[in-house]
């Protein structure tokens, strides 16, 4: 992870998502804070200060404040944009990180002249360039943003406080380097650590099977049987049990923080049948998915 990421304490200001149809265009505008946009389902493009940035499905882009920009859907139908206006630090800007109130300008559309006094600059240690790239763990990041959207727009004051942590996790996932995750002191611990991070990525992609786990671990340069034994000796569970625990933990978060149906959550977490999902969920939590949702929302 780059040093500057260790210093951020992001604060959301506006959170939302929307599905866009063929021909959709957002006109030129200037925003006063930073905007993180996650793209899925279709090809988008964002123009910033006259430069075009292609935004394929499962990619992200962060627009800095005070920059004239516009967005468009350029390929396919039914693309989805998820967005968060945010400050990198709670002390950014002229008014701190308070939520946006009615009547407070957050953007100005061209050709109106933007107000320079409302621009909320980043701390000096944050890069000034447009930050962009692929979303490597797309299912995990999009789930986190959906949870943040639900809590920010439909939750309590406490839920909004939790959104700070969710946004931090999203930004670290998008901008951090996974090379720093493997810090074992010898080859064996590094190998097992690499396997754990690979399995975590597999767990957050739907339709993964035991074969996918074996094939994925096979890319690490040793036999699946040997690596599975090392993994169980280190963490106490098999690779498949670790993946299933990740999937159930993800389901717990979706049941608690979103309005998705149980069947949709089962599908998102990689289960072909709701019955199999329910059995594994009950085995790991002691209650059915619906019982868990009722308890979590009391």
Where does a domain end: 119, 154, 175? Answer: 175
Q: What is the pLDDT of residue 101?
A: 45
Could you identify the residue written with the tokens 């200001």?
13
32 and 120 Cβ atoms separated by less than 8 Å: yes
Q: What is the dihedral of CA 95, 98, 101, 103, to 10 degrees?
A: 10
Q: By C-alpha distance, which of 6, 51, 14 is closest to 31?
A: 14
Task: Examine the domain organization and report whether 20 and 164 are in the same domain.
Answer: yes
Domain that holds residue 76: 3-175
Task: Examine the domain organization and report whether 12 and 157 are in the same domain.
Answer: yes
Task: Examine the domain organization and report whether 160 and 192 are in the same domain.
Answer: no
Q: What's the total number of domains in the chain?
A: 2
CATH number of the domain encompassing residue 261: 1.10.10.60
Task: Examine the domain organization and report whether 237 and 220 are in the same domain.
Answer: yes
Task: Examine the domain organization and report whether 29 and 70 are in the same domain.
Answer: yes
Task: Examine the domain organization and report whether 112 and 237 are in the same domain.
Answer: no
Where does a domain end: 175, 202, 228? Answer: 175
Q: Retrieve residue 264's tokens.
A: 């949709």
Task: Examine the domain organization and report whether 210 and 243 are in the same domain.
Answer: yes
Q: Is 221 exposed, middle or buried (0-12, 13-18, 19+ CB in 10 A)?
A: exposed
Task: Examine the domain organization and report whether 116 and 79 are in the same domain.
Answer: yes
Task: Examine the domain organization and report whether 117 and 220 are in the same domain.
Answer: no
Task: Examine the domain organization and report whether 226 and 288 are in the same domain.
Answer: yes
The pLDDT tens digits along the chain (298 residues) read: 458 998 999 999 999 999 888 778 888 999 999 999 999 999 999 999 989 999 999 999 999 999 999 999 987 777 899 999 999 987 655 444 444 444 456 889 988 999 999 999 999 999 989 999 999 888 889 999 999 999 999 989 999 999 999 999 999 999 985 443 333 345 788 788 888 878 877 777 666 555 688 888 888 888 888 899 999 988 889 999 988 888 898 898 889 888 899 999 998 888 888 999 999 999 999 999 999 999 887 7
Task: Examine the domain organization and report whether 139 and 236 are in the same domain.
Answer: no
157 and 199 Cβ atoms separated by less than 8 Å: no
Task: Examine the domain organization and report whether 153 and 21 are in the same domain.
Answer: yes
Where does a domain end: 126, 155, 175? Answer: 175
């Amino acid at each position: 992870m780059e040093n500057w990421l260790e210093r951020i304490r992001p604060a959301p200001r506006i959170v939302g998502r929307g599905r866009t149809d063929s021909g959709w265009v957002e006109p030129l505008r200037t925003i006063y804070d930073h905007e993180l946009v996650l793209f899925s389902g279709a090809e988008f493009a964002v123009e910033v200060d006259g430069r075009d940035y292609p935004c394929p499905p499962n990619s992200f882009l962060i627009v800095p404040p005070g920059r004239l920009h516009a967005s468009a859907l350029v390929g396919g139908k039914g693309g989805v944009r998820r967005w968060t206006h945010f400050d990198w630090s709670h002390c950014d800007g002229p008014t701190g990180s308070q939520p946006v109130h009615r009547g407070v300008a957050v953007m100005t559309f061209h050709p109106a002249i933007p107000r320079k006094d409302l621009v909320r600059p980043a701390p000096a240690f944050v890069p000034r360039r447009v930050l962009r790239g692929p979303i490597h763990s797309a299912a995990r990041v999009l789930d986190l943003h959906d949870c943040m959207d639900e809590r920010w727009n439909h939750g309590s004051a406490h839920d909004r406080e939790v959104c700070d942590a969710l946004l931090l996790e999203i930004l670290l996932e998008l901008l951090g380097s996974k090379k720093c995750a493997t810090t074992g002191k010898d080859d064996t611990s590094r190998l097992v650590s690499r396997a754990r991070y690979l399995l975590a990525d597999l767990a957050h992609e739907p339709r993964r099977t035991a074969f996918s786990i074996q094939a994925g671990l096979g890319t690490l340069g040793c036999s699946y049987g040997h690596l599975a034994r090392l993994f169980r000796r280190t963490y106490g569970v098999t690779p498949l049990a670790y993946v299933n625990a990740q999937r159930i933990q993800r389901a717990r978060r979706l049941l608690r923080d979103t309005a998705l149906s149980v069947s949709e959550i089962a599908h998102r977490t990689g289960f072909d049948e709701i019955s199999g999902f329910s059995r594994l969920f009950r085995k790991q939590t002691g209650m059915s998915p619906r019982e868990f949702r009722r308890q979590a929302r009391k």
